[in-house]
A and B are shown apart, each in its own frame.
Chain A
């Protein structure tokens, strides 16, 4: 029996044990939810998702195709999201968690009339088939042990502030709590597509030629899997340390007899308090091989046919590091965070030093985040919806360029009101001339830009918060004269009115 099958078998036996070993009790129904409405005025947010095209329209990260050039128009629209969680709780040791999502933009569509289903239903008449299933998993404790299992499609956030994976996927997560230590082991199957080849990582995705990849015709044959084993230890209430191993394994290309992809992540993290200040940080080293990348040969650099192109393995040696701190300052809290994601001078050679990130299937949506920045334009925002999820650096791999960024902020609570402000800077770690944000070239500087944003909010009730958000990004010289029309693109801005109800 393969390792994967053994893991699944153990998980299944565990689930059965939990289901049979606990006393029968009446089922309790538990509901949670989150409803958010956002009114948006922006030349950046446009109702779409992915890396922003500074030419004014979206761009496919996979193809790099620029659809339109010119200065972006101002978009004004309203969108909403409901996430509804229902938990069927048999007892304190066993529950089934289900989580659903309904997204739409005011006026977008109704009656499925545009042959779209999800992320629609705000058109006149409304009736739309738009229910999305985010999570369905069993959450149970093994009786008389400190073990907890979560089995099924579930959300997962890594121990590295989400830069590896912060998304939903099907898998098994086992956690053991032992005094001050927590140990966890996870397995996720990201891809087992029958007809569509799965992209490996963000960086690799741009080099995959879908037509050349063998079709997965057997369930469990061509897969992309994710493993994690790690732990965290509370040395004291003021200091915790953790260490993890993650692996992204993919054999989607093995039908072509090319090397499989195995990316290993080894990381250490820590967090602590010192007086009124607290800090946290991590270091992640990444090594392994990317399999099945098509690399133009030196002799025939522009070869279009597969036959003229080499199929080459690439070794990866990359890293990411973060350090953050916050401190009580006057009536509020001052924050600072810095992130380094290594880049690569080139992404076509034998060796790559750009940090390989994980994307969803199709490589147009990042499976990872860096919410700690509190950025509204540079990076993805936690209140993004399926309708609007734009960022200047949507994928932290950033087309192999990596990222160097630092954000500082100040949170001022004023009873029921609050004011949060942030400023930040971002630069590419290595400029490899790969195209980003729809630009035709890159400028002389590595500086991507400088962001400032502010959020002013008021808690109408304990569960209902309203806020005004505004953000402006001054583009750096990286984008100077780099638009498709040879001009410097306009600085992005966004203004949002947000109503958020959580229960």
Chain B
């Protein structure tokens, strides 16, 4: 009965919150409510529904996913003895808090009225803060600034052995320490003088290959999210930095990981799953590694082409959030907050030689090989200023399932209200860019270049390049 009731509630909630929003309404997403002590998940679902329902109206409309929202609502229910407290906070998609309210009561009869009061307080605060934000004038696009040659501030490391494919900063960011990865190895490195020195390295199992590497600062240390796949899906690992070593915390996790600064906000971990017949299954979730387990929350529904490796979000001058992804052909595609395609680039961007393998009966019929390749895309970076930064790999033999990139540039765009305007582009570099990171403090791109591809007898070589963004 309880399940049926919960199902009906959720159905009703879905019907309500998917009602088209008024053009001037502020879209709010109510995330799953947390309970202390943990317990009745059905009650939390009901309270979440009630809060979303009561939040609707007078300039605020509840929406079903965080990706569509102008404001994210997080809430908690705490009960000590008979006394309870309902706490809720609202934040902009970039993470900036804008309101925090609470209500408490001394028995369960006061719970539903408390929900209404919390919703009313939140709505008032949200409308006041969000509506008060001045609409920024659309800036005239500046002429493209193309760096004709290597700037004075660029720094390039020595040749590092191995064709590296993943990079993440070792905490704290900007201290010159990096976690680098190749197909079957992760290494902790430090810049000493002009050289990149390896402090520690971890071999990965031969049955799997690393396809993505991300790092996130946690409690002053660094958590390393290594996305590994074998022939049956993800078998990812999480390491932590332990002094000058990497210590394995978890393995065989069936998630693809990526750390993204969504909309230029705080860097957060995201996860997506893989099913038996889909390369990227379901929504992308905000994730956290807690108590030895990966916890998922706040799903983001992907538009066409979107997956965990190729999306980001930016907010336009009118405060509307837009998802941006690479299409399967490598074009940048911008979607409206309603999921409509608004704009598509004329040039191809991104481009990666990294792939994971998927069993495919059709492919086997054609090629005789059991596995087809699913190539990843490059990261889409949105800076703290809302600029979009993407690399552009090029090559002479980039066709079908054969990819060999040989040079790249990096381009910076801003949204002019109707399309992306190119504002800056780096000089052309005669290497393949396998991955990159960003240091917001110094506005520097940390570019991981493959200077020599792996061969039959050669492990290949790589280099790090620090490039300032104007």
* Cα of A326 to Cα of B370 in the assembled complex, Å: 15
Q: Give 5 A-B contacts (CB < 8 Å), ordered by A residue.
A: A34-B366, A83-B367, A99-B366, A280-B276, A333-B232
- Give the distance to chain B from A166, nearest Cβ to Cβ, in Å: 6
* Cα of A398 to Cα of B328 in the assembled complex, Å: 44
Task: Point out which of A232, A272, A503 has the most chain B C-beta atoms below 10 A from its C-beta.
Answer: A503
Please tell me if B206 contacts chain A, counting CB pairs below 8 Å: yes
Please tell me if B400 contacts chain A, counting CB pairs below 8 Å: yes
Asked, given contacts A240-B275, A240-B276, whether A157 binds B400 with beta carbons under 8 Å apart, the answer is: no
Give 1 or 0 for each of A267-282: 1 = CB within 8 Å of chain B CB: 0000111001010100
Give 1 or 0 for each of A301-333: 1 = CB within 8 Å of chain B CB: 000000000000000000000000010100111
Within 8 A of B (CB), among A434-478: 460-463, 465
Please tell me if A350 contacts chain B, counting CB pairs below 8 Å: no
Q: Hey, which chain B residues are within 8 Å of A373, CB to CB? A: none
* Cα of A32 to Cα of B362 in the assembled complex, Å: 14
A276 contacts B252, CB within 8 Å? Answer: yes
Set B206, B252, B365, B402: member contacting A155, Cβ < 8 A: B365
Please tell me if B456 contacts chain A, counting CB pairs below 8 Å: yes
B400 contacts A333, CB within 8 Å? Answer: no
Set A238, A333, A383, A413: member contacting B206, Cβ < 8 A: A413
Set A83, A240, A500: member contacting B366, Cβ < 8 A: A83
B206 contacts A331, CB within 8 Å? Answer: yes
B329 contacts A28, CB within 8 Å? Answer: yes
Q: Hey, which chain B residues are within 8 Å of A99, CB to CB? A: 366
Asked, given contacts A28-B329, A503-B402, whether A383 binds B368 with beta carbons under 8 Å apart, the answer is: yes
* Cα of A411 to Cα of B353 in the assembled complex, Å: 25
Q: Hey, which chain B residues are within 8 Å of A503, CB to CB? A: 399-402
Please tell me if A414 contacts chain B, counting CB pairs below 8 Å: yes
Task: Point out which of A32, A83, A500 has the most chain B C-beta atoms below 10 A from its C-beta.
Answer: A32
Give 1 or 0 for each of B390-426: 1 = CB within 8 Å of chain A CB: 0000000001111000000000000000000000000
B365 contacts A157, CB within 8 Å? Answer: yes
B401 contacts A166, CB within 8 Å? Answer: no
* Cα of A262 to Cα of B219 in the assembled complex, Å: 69
Set B276, B281, B367: member contacting A271, Cβ < 8 A: B276
Q: Hey, which chain B residues are within 8 Å of A371, CB to CB? A: 361, 364
- Give the distance to chain B from A155, nearest Cβ to Cβ, in Å: 6
B399 contacts A34, CB within 8 Å? Answer: no
* Cα of A83 to Cα of B206 in the assembled complex, Å: 31
Please tell me if A401 contacts chain B, counting CB pairs below 8 Å: no
A411 contacts B231, CB within 8 Å? Answer: yes
Q: Hey, which chain B residues are within 8 Å of A238, CB to CB? A: 275-276
Please tell me if A382 contacts chain B, counting CB pairs below 8 Å: yes
Q: Hey, which chain B residues are within 8 Å of A460, CB to CB? A: 456
Please tell me if A234 contacts chain B, counting CB pairs below 8 Å: yes
* Cα of A297 to Cα of B69 in the assembled complex, Å: 78
Q: Hey, which chain B residues are within 8 Å of A502, CB to CB? A: 367, 369, 401
Please tell me if B273 contacts chain A, counting CB pairs below 8 Å: yes
A92 contacts B327, CB within 8 Å? Answer: yes
Q: Hey, which chain A residues are within 8 Å of B192, CB to CB? A: none
* Cα of A503 to Cα of B369 in the assembled complex, Å: 12
Please tell me if B59 contacts chain A, counting CB pairs below 8 Å: no
Contacts A237-B281, A462-B373 given; 16 further ones with Cβ under 8 A?
A30-B400, A32-B401, A161-B361, A237-B254, A237-B273, A240-B275, A240-B276, A326-B232, A328-B232, A333-B232, A371-B361, A382-B364, A411-B231, A414-B206, A463-B401, A465-B369
Q: Hey, which chain B residues are within 8 Å of A413, CB to CB? A: 206-207, 230-231
* Cα of A382 to Cα of B400 in the assembled complex, Å: 21
Q: Hey, which chain A residues are within 8 Å of B355, CB to CB? A: 462
A166 contacts B206, CB within 8 Å? Answer: no
Give 1 or 0 for each of B200-232: 1 = CB within 8 Å of chain A CB: 000001110000000000000000000000111
Closest A residue by C-beta to B363: A502
**A-contacting residues of B (Cβ < 8 Å)?**
184, 205-207, 230-232, 252, 254, 273-278, 281-282, 327-329, 353, 355, 361-362, 364-370, 373, 399-402, 455-456
Q: Hey, which chain A residues are within 8 Å of B369, CB to CB? A: 34, 382, 465, 500, 502
Q: Hey, which chain A residues are within 8 Å of B281, CB to CB? A: 234, 237
Asked, given contacts A33-B400, A92-B329, A371-B364, whether A278 binds B207 with beta carbons under 8 Å apart, the answer is: no
Give 1 or 0 for each of A353-388: 1 = CB within 8 Å of chain B CB: 000000000000000010100000000001110000
* Cα of A273 to Cα of B365 in the assembled complex, Å: 25
* Cα of A415 to Cα of B206 in the assembled complex, Å: 5
Asked, given contacts A92-B328, A332-B207, A382-B364, whether A31 binds B282 with beta carbons under 8 Å apart, the answer is: no
Set B206, B230, B365, B456: member contacting A382, Cβ < 8 A: B365
Give 1 or 0 for each of A410-444: 1 = CB within 8 Å of chain B CB: 01011100000000000000000000000000000
Give 1 or 0 for each of A169-204: 1 = CB within 8 Å of chain B CB: 000000000000000000000000000000000000
A500 contacts B277, CB within 8 Å? Answer: no
* Cα of A92 to Cα of B456 in the assembled complex, Å: 36
Q: Hey, which chain A residues are within 8 Å of B366, CB to CB? A: 34, 83, 85, 99, 155
- Give the distance to chain A from B31, nearest Cβ to Cβ, in Å: 22
B206 contacts A232, CB within 8 Å? Answer: no
- Give the distance to chain B from A33, nearest Cβ to Cβ, in Å: 7
Q: Hey, which chain A residues are within 8 Å of B328, CB to CB? A: 92
B282 contacts A237, CB within 8 Å? Answer: yes
Q: Hey, which chain B residues are within 8 Å of A240, CB to CB? A: 275-277
Closest B residue by C-beta to A87: B400
A382 contacts B368, CB within 8 Å? Answer: yes
Closest B residue by C-beta to A412: B207
Closest A residue by C-beta to B362: A157
Q: Hey, which chain B residues are within 8 Å of A92, CB to CB? A: 327-329
Closest B residue by C-beta to A271: B276
Closest A residue by C-beta to B397: A503
Q: Hey, which chain A residues are within 8 Å of B206, CB to CB? A: 331, 413-415
- Give the distance to chain A from B202, nearest Cβ to Cβ, in Å: 15
* Cα of A501 to Cα of B277 in the assembled complex, Å: 25
Q: Hey, which chain B residues are within 8 Å of A155, CB to CB? A: 362, 365-366
Please tell me if A123 contacts chain B, counting CB pairs below 8 Å: no
- Give the distance to chain B from A295, nearest Cβ to Cβ, in Å: 36
Q: Hey, which chain B residues are within 8 Å of A224, CB to CB? A: none
Q: Hey, which chain A residues are within 8 Å of B365, CB to CB? A: 155, 157, 162, 166-167, 369, 382
Q: Hey, which chain A residues are within 8 Å of B252, CB to CB? A: 276
Q: Hey, which chain A residues are within 8 Å of B207, CB to CB? A: 328, 331-333, 413
* Cα of A460 to Cα of B402 in the assembled complex, Å: 14
B275 contacts A31, CB within 8 Å? Answer: no
Please tell me if A352 contacts chain B, counting CB pairs below 8 Å: no
Please tell me if A36 contacts chain B, counting CB pairs below 8 Å: yes
Closest B residue by C-beta to A26: B346
Set B230, B277, B327, B399: member contacting A31, Cβ < 8 A: B399
Q: Hey, which chain B residues are within 8 Å of A276, CB to CB? A: 252
Q: Hey, which chain A residues are within 8 Å of B329, CB to CB? A: 28, 89, 92
* Cα of A383 to Cα of B275 in the assembled complex, Å: 27
* Cα of A157 to Cα of B362 in the assembled complex, Å: 6
* Cα of A89 to Cα of B327 in the assembled complex, Å: 14
Q: Hey, which chain B residues are within 8 Å of A234, CB to CB? A: 275, 277-278, 281
Asked, given contacts A92-B328, A331-B206, A460-B456, whether A232 binds B232 with beta carbons under 8 Å apart, the answer is: no
- Give the distance to chain B from A42, nearest Cβ to Cβ, in Å: 18
Closest A residue by C-beta to B400: A32
* Cα of A261 to Cα of B357 in the assembled complex, Å: 42
* Cα of A331 to Cα of B203 in the assembled complex, Å: 14
B276 contacts A166, CB within 8 Å? Answer: no
- Give the distance to chain B from A460, nearest Cβ to Cβ, in Å: 6
* Cα of A276 to Cα of B234 in the assembled complex, Å: 11
* Cα of A273 to Cα of B252 in the assembled complex, Å: 14
* Cα of A167 to Cα of B362 in the assembled complex, Å: 9
A34 contacts B273, CB within 8 Å? Answer: no
Within 8 A of B (CB), among A62-105: 83, 85, 89, 92, 99
